[in-house]
Structure 1
Amino acid sequence: MLQKSLIRRLDLITLQLFVAVHEEGTLTRAAAREAIAVSAASKRLMELEEALGVALFARQAKGMRLTPAGETLLHHARQMLFNIEKMGLELGEHTQGVRGYVRMLANLSAIIQFLPEDLRDFSECHPQVKVDLEERPSNGVVQGVLDGVADLGVCSSDTDVRGLTSVLYRHDQLVVLMRPDHPLADRDALAFADTLDSDYVGLHSASSINMRTHAAARAAGKVLRLRIHVPGFDAMCRMVQANMGIGILPLKAYELFGRALGLHAVKLNDEWSARSLILVVRDESALSPVSRLLFEHLSAPL
Structure 2
Amino acid sequence: MLQKSLIRRLDLITLQLFVAVHEEGTLTRAAAREAIAVSAASKRLVELEQALGVALFVRQARGMSLTAAGETLLHHGRQMLFNVEKMGLELGEHSHGVRGYVRMLANLSAIIQFLPEDLRDFSESHPKVKTDLEERPSNGVVQGVLDGVADLGICSSDTDTKGLLSVTYRRDTLVVLMPADHPLARRETLAFADTLDSDYVGLHSASSINMRTHAAAREAGKLLRLRIHVPGFDAMCRMVQANMGIGILPQKAYELFGRALGLQAVPLTDEWADRQLILVIRNEVSLSPVSRLLFEYLQGTEAPI
| 1:154 matched to 2:125 | no
Aligned partners of 1:82 and 1:149 also within 8 Å: no
Aligned partners of 1:103 and 1:150 also within 8 Å: yes
Q: Deviations over 1:110-157 (max 9, x none)?
A: 000000000001100110111111111111111211222111111111
Match of 1:286 in 2: 286
Inter-partner Cα distance in structure 2 for 1:169 and 1:130: 20
Cα displacement (A) at 1:36:
6.5
Is the alpha carbon distance of 1:46 and 1:204 closer, same or farther for their aligned partners in structure 2, counting shifts above 3 Å?
Answer: farther
Inter-partner Cα distance in structure 1 for 2:144 and 2:226: 29
Aligned partners of 2:170 and 2:301 also within 8 Å: no
Q: Which moved more, 1:271-280 or 1:91-100?
A: 91-100
Cα displacement (A) at 1:166:
1.3
Match of 1:59 in 2: none
Match of 1:22 in 2: none
Aligned partners of 1:107 and 1:135 also within 8 Å: yes
Inter-partner Cα distance in structure 2 for 1:141 and 1:121: 23
Is the alpha carbon distance of 1:64 and 1:134 closer, same or farther for their aligned partners in structure 2, counting shifts above 3 Å?
Answer: farther
- AA aligned to 2:277 is L
Count of aligned residue pairs for this structure pair: 273
Inter-partner Cα distance in structure 1 for 2:158 and 2:201: 22
TM-score, with normalisation over the residues of structure 1? 0.79
Q: Deviations over 1:169-193 (max 9, x none)?
A: 1100000001111111111110000
User: Whose radius of gyration is greater, 1 or 2?
Assistant: 2
Aligned pairs (5 A) from 1:176-255: 176-255=176-255
Q: Which runs of 5+ in 1 are unaligned?
A: 19-30, 55-62
| 1:167 matched to 2:179 | no
Match of 1:91 in 2: 91
Is the alpha carbon distance of 1:45 and 1:154 closer, same or farther for their aligned partners in structure 2, counting shifts above 3 Å?
Answer: farther
Aligned partners of 1:82 and 1:148 also within 8 Å: no
Aligned partners of 2:118 and 2:301 also within 8 Å: no
Give the SS at the match of 1:238.
helix
Cα displacement (A) at 1:11:
3.5
Is the alpha carbon distance of 1:234 and 1:7 closer, same or farther for their aligned partners in structure 2, counting shifts above 3 Å?
Answer: same
Cα displacement (A) at 1:88:
2.0
- AA aligned to 1:157 is S
Inter-partner Cα distance in structure 1 for 2:23 and 2:207: 31
Is the alpha carbon distance of 1:262 and 1:99 closer, same or farther for their aligned partners in structure 2, counting shifts above 3 Å?
Answer: same
Inter-partner Cα distance in structure 1 for 2:14 and 2:129: 31
Cα displacement (A) at 1:292:
1.1
| 1:141 matched to 2:174 | no
Same amino acid, percent of matched pairs: 80
Is the alpha carbon distance of 1:221 and 1:117 closer, same or farther for their aligned partners in structure 2, counting shifts above 3 Å?
Answer: same
Cα displacement (A) at 1:90:
3.2
Aligned partners of 2:145 and 2:152 also within 8 Å: yes
Give the SS at the match of 1:216.
helix
Match of 2:116 in 1: 116
Match of 1:261 in 2: 261
Aligned partners of 1:86 and 1:101 also within 8 Å: no
Cα displacement (A) at 1:46:
10
Cα displacement (A) at 1:17:
11
- AA aligned to 2:107 is N
TM-score, with normalisation over the residues of structure 2? 0.78
Cα displacement (A) at 1:96:
2.0
Cα RMSD over matched residues?
A: 3.4
Q: Which moved more, 1:288-297 or 1:261-270?
A: 288-297
Is the alpha carbon distance of 1:99 and 1:197 closer, same or farther for their aligned partners in structure 2, counting shifts above 3 Å?
Answer: same
Is the alpha carbon distance of 1:82 and 1:296 closer, same or farther for their aligned partners in structure 2, counting shifts above 3 Å?
Answer: farther
Inter-partner Cα distance in structure 1 for 2:47 and 2:221: 54
- AA aligned to 1:281 is I
Is the alpha carbon distance of 1:214 and 1:251 closer, same or farther for their aligned partners in structure 2, counting shifts above 3 Å?
Answer: same
Cα displacement (A) at 1:270:
0.2
Inter-partner Cα distance in structure 2 for 1:300 and 1:291: 15
Q: Which runs of 5+ in 2 are unaligned?
A: 31-41, 55-66
- AA aligned to 2:237 is C
Match of 1:26 in 2: none
